[in-house]
Amino acid sequence: QSVLTQPPSASGTPGQRVTISCSGSSSNIGRHTVNWYQQLPGTAPKLLIYSNNQRPSGVPDRFSGSRSGTSASLAISGLQSEDEADYYCAAWDDSLNGLVFGGGTKLTVL
Amino acid sequence: EVQMVQSGAEVKKPGESLKISCKGSGYSFTSYWIGWVRQMPGKGLEWMGIIYPGDSDTRYSPSFQGQVTISADKSISTAFLQWSSLKASDTAMYYCARRVVVTSTAYFFDYWGQGTLVTVSS
C-alpha cells in the first residue's frame, strides 16, 4: 500500500478535462512540494509537473498541478489520445526520510 | 544535452551478484544527486535510494537498506546499483534519475535513464 493515495484509474473522452487526486499527510505533501510523472506504455517516467504547479519546458499547458494542505491534484484539459498513460505523484516524506510515490493512476482516453 | 544512459538488460540466476550502471552526461556529474527507482512487472514506482557523486553521500529507503548497494565513480560520471545475492523477487525494471534540489522542501527527478530490465530466474 502506497504512502500517497491515488485512484487506480481515470478516464475521459477527447477534449474533456480530467483530474487525478493524490492524498498524503503532514509528513509528506503537507511539508514538501509535489511532483507528477507521466509514464507512457513501455517507456521511462517523464517529469510532468514539479514544485506543485510548475511545468518543465516542453510540457503543454494543458497539464496543470495544484496542492492544498495534504492533497494535490493533476488536471489535464483538452484530453488527447496520446495522454493515455500512467500518472504518478511523488513527494519527500520526513517520517520515512525518503521519497514516496503514489500507486499510480492509469488514464484511459475513451 | 543532459542524458542518463543505463546498462543493458540482464538475466541472472538466484544467488548471483550483479552491478548495473547509469552514466550521466551533459552536466556537472558531481553537482546533482542521482536516485534509483524500481518498477516490478505491472506495478508502480518505488524509490530505492540516492547518492551524491560529489562526496558519495548515500541514503537508502528503509525497504531497500541492506538489500542493495548504491555507489558512484565520479571519474567516469557513472552511478551503480548492485546486489550481492539476487532473488527472484528482484526481477524488475530499474531506473536511475537525476535529482534537482530547488529548496530544502522542493526537489524532483528531471532526467531519467531508459531503464535496465533485470530478470532473475533459475
Record the cell numbers describing residue A1, joined without a space. Answer: 500500500
Q: Chain A: residue nearest B4 by CA? A: A44
Count CB neighbours of A55 within 10 A.
Answer: 17
Q: Which of A99, A105, A106 to mutate to test the interface with B (most CBs of B within 10 A)?
A: A99
Q: How confident is the model at residue A100 (pLDDT cuts 50, 70, 90)?
A: very high
Please report residues of A whose CB lies closer than 8 A to that of B97: 45
- What is the model's pLDDT at position B103? 83
**With the CA atoms of B48, B52, B53 and B57 taken in that order, what torsion angle do they form, in degrees rounded to the nearest 10?**
-90
Contacts of B1 in chain A (CB under 8 A): none
pLDDT of residue A2: 86
CB B96 within 8 A of CB B85: no
Query: Tens digit of pLDDT for each residue in B70-122?
Result: 999 999 999 999 999 999 999 999 999 999 988 888 889 999 999 999 999 99
The band of B60, judged by pLDDT with boundaries at 50, 70 and 90, is very high
Instruction: Give the rounded percent of residues in chain A with a pLDDT score beyond 90.
Output: 95
**Is residue A29's pLDDT more than 90?**
yes
SS3 B73: strand
Mean pLDDT for A43-53 is 97
Round the average pLDDT of chain A to a whole number and report it: 96
pLDDT value at residue B102: 86
Residues in Cβ contact with B43 at an 8 Å cutoff, skipping those fewer than 6 apart? none
Q: How far apart are CA B56 and CA B113, in angstroms?
A: 20
* pLDDT at residue A92 greater than cutoff 90: yes
CA distances from B105 to A24, A29, A83, B92 (A): 15, 10, 29, 30
Mutate to test the interface with A, among B3, B39, B45 (most CBs of A within 10 A): B45
Closest by alpha carbon to A36, among A75, A90, A78?
A: A90
Give the separation between CA B90 and CA B12, rounded to whole angstroms.
Answer: 10
Give the separation between CA A99 and CA B49, rounded to whole angstroms. 8
Please answer yes or no on whether B61 and A33 come within 8 Å at the CB atom. no
Q: Which chain B residue has the Cα nearest residue A37?
A: B109
